[in-house]
Structure 1
């Protein structure tokens, strides 16, 4: 980096560096800022949507508890090989882990006709909720969608490690459109086979 005699950067380089760091910071913070600035109206034609991640009985029970408190539209995201729910729900048979389920939801919401939901409620296991909500905020927050429950319960130690890994994957997805499955092809292949995707 070119320095002047006093050891300081030249003003144009300093300005460029400050602008680059500011732009990167805004891009990283956008999923949290956009819902505050561009919140989707609370009009009745924009109902909440309840999204259930995977079809395990405990996650479906959590969805029923949330649905009793509010009347949202529902969507189940599950692996094709997992057990379907006892009562039919609209489904996305995509996603073999939390990150791919959330990216599938974001892609699905992007192609839906307007109006989009004003808030997306995530229903999953209590221990999985913190990670799923954070990832949904990363993927959907930039579109001005609020993600609930807020605040999510604190994650366990194991979930914290997964949360950091998956947050990095979602950030990569926001930047280049891929969650980085090409970095670990054997793991992705194993998960796809287990899920039937």
Structure 2
């Protein structure tokens, strides 16, 4: 059976939506606020961050850890497997404008396979560096879906640097 890399998701539906902030700099929390204000019902919030990342504003949303976009999205997918999440609800990703397209596509790869819909946003055109990272990370998430590993161990120097920067 061939599984599509990205599953198209509808953008409507009522329920208990979830806004996920990836490694919360102040601009990312502002993006989460804008998303929340645009929704018909107040969403739940979740922060995924490095232990050394920016401290969240109070009150603190639930926290998960990841040291890069791929591990943050897989942490989200694992967490959602064990949560009561209504099928009518959507996950919204709050991040920096240049990072938005990559984060949303990765979330769709990881969460779409679980039947979880990822909300759309206005996608600014990503930089060429972000487009290269998108291809790399899409392959990592596809590997994760097949094996349970993002393959970060294939690049040990980058893995060690990211973990050290994050304090993991």
- Which residue of the partner structure matches residue 164 of structure 1? 135
Match of residue 58, structure 1, among 24, 27, 31: 27
Change (3 A) 1:114 1:160: closer
Determine the C-alpha separation between the residues in 2 that align with 1:30 and 1:166. Answer: 12
Deviation at 1:116, TM superposition (A): 5.9
Match of residue 192, structure 1, among 152, 156, 163: 163
Structure 1: where are the runs of 5+ without partners? 1-22
Q: How many residues align?
A: 166
- Which residue of the partner structure matches residue 51 of structure 2? 80
TM-score with structure 2 length normalisation?
0.89
RMSD: 2.1
TM-score with structure 1 length normalisation?
0.76
More helix by share: 1
Q: Does the CA-based 8 Å contact 1:109-1:116 persist in structure 2?
A: no
Structure 2: where are the runs of 5+ without partners? none
| 2:114 counterpart of 1:139 | no
| 2:150 counterpart of 1:179 | yes
Determine the C-alpha separation between the residues in 2 that align with 1:69 and 1:77. Answer: 22
Deviation at 1:114, TM superposition (A): 4.8
Structure possessing the higher radius of gyration over alpha carbons: 1
Q: Deviations over 1:143-179 (max 9, x none)?
A: 2222122463332211100000000000000010000
Q: Deviations over 1:20-60 (max 9, x none)?
A: xxx2xx31x16416x56xx9x945xx311000100111111
Q: Does the CA-based 8 Å contact 1:30-1:141 persist in structure 2?
A: no
- Which residue of the partner structure matches residue 7 of structure 2? 32
Task: Determine helix, strand or coil for the equivalent of 2:20.
Answer: strand
Determine the C-alpha separation between the residues in 2 that align with 1:74 and 1:157. Answer: 30
- Which residue of the partner structure matches residue 123 of structure 1? 94
Determine the C-alpha separation between the residues in 1 that align with 2:66 and 2:79. Answer: 12
Deviates more, 1:82-91 or 1:104-113: 82-91
